[in-house]
Amino acid sequence: MEALIHSNKHSVVYGRKTIYFSLLYCDRKTMEIAVHPDSTVIVKAPVHSDIALIERKIIKRARWILRQLNYFKQFNPKTPDRCYVNGETHLYLGKQYRLKLAEGAENSVKLSRGFFHITCRNEQTPNAAKKLLNQWYLEKAQLQFAESMDRCWQKFNALGIDQPKLSIKRMQKRWGSLSDKGTVTLNTDLIRTPKECIDYVVTHELCHLKYHNHSPAFYKLLDSVMPGWEKRKNQLELTMV
């Protein structure tokens, strides 16, 4: 574990772009540049490193940093706003289904023959339909994400660590994350995407158990446990446009 000395916010200008980064002085021998899914750039440098030298190294890696930032920008959820009215389409596991709203004896959501049949006990308002559908999504996410975790974890048993806990919540800018305590959190909206996309995000986060950045070693591991992951990533992005 590296000993953090102190950190500061900095920026460098590269052409017409400004790259903002957090500089952490650590008890280490080499400098590391990491771009995270939330678009933060973290630079770890040896104690007493010259700031001018650090900035020159960042500018030297600027093209790579900007490519990574652009990559994660595309990776963000893009679900458009919905009105929750009759005929509107909504996704579930990568397929489109249309809404059919009706009043009935109890609140319910059923998926049948290309339609979400949403029954509201009281008045069938868009807000009521939204709450019922979101609850249905959450229940399905708990089931599907747990199954995905079990499928994907089989390729990580050799790491010699326990299978991480799974958390589900709605997130604004990320599909998934791994906490310092080793909990994998998945965005509820992933339930709208195909199963292979869910598996990709789960596998991506599981790779962070061994490599906490997006270094070449991280992608080598990702390639080994999920060959062709790029296709799944692209499918994920296209599904949620």
Return the beta strands (E) in 108-200 as ranges. 108-112, 115-120, 166-169, 176-178, 184-187
The mean per-residue pLDDT over the stretch 25-30 comes to: 84
The mean per-residue pLDDT over the stretch 198-225 comes to: 92
Give residue 74's pLDDT.
63
Tell me the three state secondary structure of residue 123. Answer: coil
The mean per-residue pLDDT over the stretch 24-30 comes to: 85
Give residue 240's pLDDT.
59
**pLDDT classification of 1: cutoffs 50, 70, 90:** very low
98: pLDDT strictly greater than 90: yes
User: In the predicted model, what is the mean pLDDT of the chain?
Assistant: 88
The mean per-residue pLDDT over the stretch 185-191 comes to: 95
Among the listed ranges 6-15, 60-69, 80-89, 152-161, which one has the minimum average pLDDT value? 6-15
Q: pLDDT digit string (tens) for 129-150?
A: 999 999 999 999 999 999 999 9
Q: pLDDT digit string (tens) for 109-134?
A: 999 989 999 999 888 889 999 999 99
For the chain, which domains are there? 4-75 (no CATH), 89-239 (3.30.2010.10)
Give residue 3's pLDDT.
47
Cα–Cα distances in Å, from 32 out to 57, 77, 172, 192, 210?
10, 28, 28, 36, 17
Q: pLDDT digit string (tens) for 29-73?
A: 889 999 887 788 999 999 888 999 999 999 999 999 998 888 777
| Tokens 């772009």, located at residue | 17
Tell me what percent of the chain is helix, strand and coil, each rounded to the nearest 5. 40, 25, 35
Inter-residue contact 174 to 227 (CB < 8 Å): no
